[in-house]
């Protein structure tokens, strides 16, 4: 991939119209692909949402906490990252062997106007943060989220619902103030589109049923309840979206119930996979190789016999319900 280098006198506009604008900026921060400059549309009449995120207290810290804190302190000294928030299952401590490390980086306020520091951020993400993430989950399939001041002033909740930050902790206490944007029409039917992709399944397993590809499939499947809430205009923290989804969808929710049960019983990755991921993340193409080497026939059997055959029923029920909502 060609890395775009911005001229020193060039800056990325930090204003956001929708989640597509966010992801273009996030991809530039992660990979150096082309950013987007856009016009601010902040609505001063919108009602704000304030979230207080505490620091981790006590002494019973996870084994990776010290490494994450050292990486954060380095980024803070270099004026790259003000804070790191941990959310998802490690935010509310519902984690299992399946859990990956969901992080949001609160960027230093002037970072998006400083091309050299954005380049340093990209190196820090690859050399310092990624090894910490892979020490928690060698099959991690997504990077961190990003926040900055004008993003929270114009926040599209289809990036991550604000409620997710109510179940988080941070490197140091922080109050986040969000001005959510109206939920965009183009995001409607996100749950249905995801179910249809899962039902086709080809793009997930074109390199075989590895543990990486199976986990990616299951993680997208378990996003459907929170996507469905977002489609209805009521964004909800993922962990809280399952019970109302089960109640509403009944037997059609069987694949998600089965995926959630498999998540609870997910086999721990062997030590050799953790070691290989630490080496692979420092070599071009190394992680792709590591992901192809880890298989589990028991997980494959559950996925192919108890989950995948039922995704078509779920997709059909989503078609029916969302079609009714459109009328």
Give 285-316 pLDDT, tens digit per residue: 899 999 999 999 999 999 999 999 999 999 99
Kindly state whether residue 306 falls inside one of the protein's structural domains: yes
Q: Please say if the pLDDT value at position 45 is more than 60.
A: no
pLDDT value for 42: 46
Statement: residue 231 has pLDDT above 60: yes
Higher pLDDT, 158 or 241: 241
Same domain, 322 and 251: yes
Angle, alpha carbons 163-13-152 (nearest 5°):
15
| Partners of 55 in the β-ladder | 170
pLDDT recorded at residue 3: 42
If asked whether residues 121 and 194 sit together in one domain, one would say no
Does residue 11 lie within any of the structural domains?
Answer: no
Which residues is 87 bridged to in the sheet? 102
Choose the weakest-confidence range: 90-99, 133-142, 226-235, 256-265.
Answer: 226-235
Question: How many structural domains compose the chain?
Answer: 2
**In the chain, % of residues over pLDDT 70:** 87
Does residue 8 have a pLDDT over 60? no
Of 147, 178, 209, the last residue of a domain is: 178
Tell me the CA end-to-end span of the chain in Å, nearest whole number: 44
Give the number of other CB atoms < 10 A from CB of residue 303. 24
Same-domain status, 156 and 215: no
45, 145: one domain: yes
Q: What is the pLDDT of residue 254?
A: 97
- Report if residue 253 sits inside a domain: yes
pLDDT in the model for residue 35? 56
Please report whether residue 9 resides in a domain: no
Of 133, 158, 178, the one marking the end of a domain is 178
What local confidence, expressed as pLDDT, does residue 187 receive?
58
Domain span at 301 = 188-326
Residue 14 lies in a domain: no
The answer to whether residues 101 and 226 belong to one domain is no
Q: Examine the domain organization and report whether 131 and 260 are in the same domain.
A: no
Is residue 69 predicted with pLDDT exceeding 70? yes
Query: Does 230 lie in the same domain as 158?
Result: no
Q: How far is CA 48 from CA 8, 51, 132, 154, 296, in A?
A: 35, 10, 34, 10, 46
Question: Beta strand 169-170 with 81-87: parallel, antiparallel or unpaired?
Answer: antiparallel
pLDDT confidence of residue 113: 87
Mean predicted confidence (pLDDT) in 265-286: 94
Domain boundary (134, 157, 178) is at 178
> Do 300 and 166 share a structural domain?
no
With a cut of 60, say whether residue 279 has pLDDT above it: yes
Give domain status of residue 3, yes or no. no
| pLDDT for res 184 | 60
**Tell me, what's the pLDDT at 57?**
84
Burial zone of 104 (CB within 10 Å; 0-12 exposed, 13-18 middle, 19+ buried): buried
Q: What pLDDT shows up at residue 2?
A: 40
Name the pTM for this structure. Answer: 0.87
Does 173 lie in the same domain as 24? Answer: yes
Residue 6 lies in a domain: no
pLDDT band (50, 70, 90) for residue 6: very low
pLDDT > 90: what percent of the chain?
63
**What is the predicted pLDDT for the residue at 205?**
93
236 with 113, same domain: the answer is no
Listed residue (18, 21, 44) closest to 158, CA to CA: 18
The phi, psi pair for 9, rounded to 5°, reads -95, 10
Residue 76's pLDDT is 97
Q: Where is average pLDDT lowest: 145-149, 225-229, 289-293, 319-323? A: 319-323
191-230 per-position pLDDT tens digit: 988 999 898 888 899 989 999 999 999 999 999 999 999 8
Q: Is 198 found in the same domain as 248?
A: yes
Q: Are residues 248 and 320 in the same domain?
A: yes
CB within 8 A of 123, min separation 6: which ones?
Answer: none
For residue 12, is it within any domain? no
């Amino acid at each position: 991939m060609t890395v775009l280098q911005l001229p020193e006198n060039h800056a990325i506009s930090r204003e956001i119209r929708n989640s597509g604008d966010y992801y273009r900026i996030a991809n530039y921060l992660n990979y150096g692909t082309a950013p987007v400059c856009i016009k601010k549309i902040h609505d001063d009449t919108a009602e704000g949402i304030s979230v207080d995120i505490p620091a981790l207290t006590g002494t019973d810290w996870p084994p990776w906490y010290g490494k994450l804190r050292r990486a954060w302190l380095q980024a803070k000294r270099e004026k790259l990252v003000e804070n790191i928030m941990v959310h998802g299952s490690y935010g509310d401590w519902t984690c299992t062997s399946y859990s990956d490390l969901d992080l949001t980086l609160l960027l230093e306020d002037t970072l998006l106007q400083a091309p050299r520091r954005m380049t340093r951020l990209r190196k820090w993400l690859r050399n310092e943060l990624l090894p910490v993430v892979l020490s928690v989950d060698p099959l991690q399939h997504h990077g961190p989220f990003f926040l900055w001041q004008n993003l929270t002033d114009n926040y599209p909740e289809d990036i991550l619902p604000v409620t997710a930050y109510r179940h988080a902790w941070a490197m140091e206490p922080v109050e986040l103030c969000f001005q959510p944007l109206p939920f965009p029409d183009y995001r409607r039917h996100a749950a249905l589109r995801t179910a249809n992709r899962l039902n086709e399944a080809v793009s997930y397993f074109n390199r075989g049923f590895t543990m990486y590809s199976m986990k990616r499939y299951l993680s997208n499947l378990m996003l459907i309840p929170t996507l469905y809430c977002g489609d209805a205009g009521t964004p909800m923290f993922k962990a809280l979206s399952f019970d109302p989804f089960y109640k509403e969808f009944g037997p059609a929710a069987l694949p998600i119930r089965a995926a959630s049960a498999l998540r609870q019983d997910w086999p721990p990755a062997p030590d050799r996979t953790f070691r290989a991921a630490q080496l692979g993340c420092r070599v071009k193409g190394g992680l792709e190789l590591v992901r192809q080497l880890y298989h589990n026939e028991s997980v494959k059997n559950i996925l192919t016999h108890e989950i995948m055959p039922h995704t078509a029923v779920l997709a059909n029920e989503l078609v029916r319900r969302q079609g009714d909502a459109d009328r």
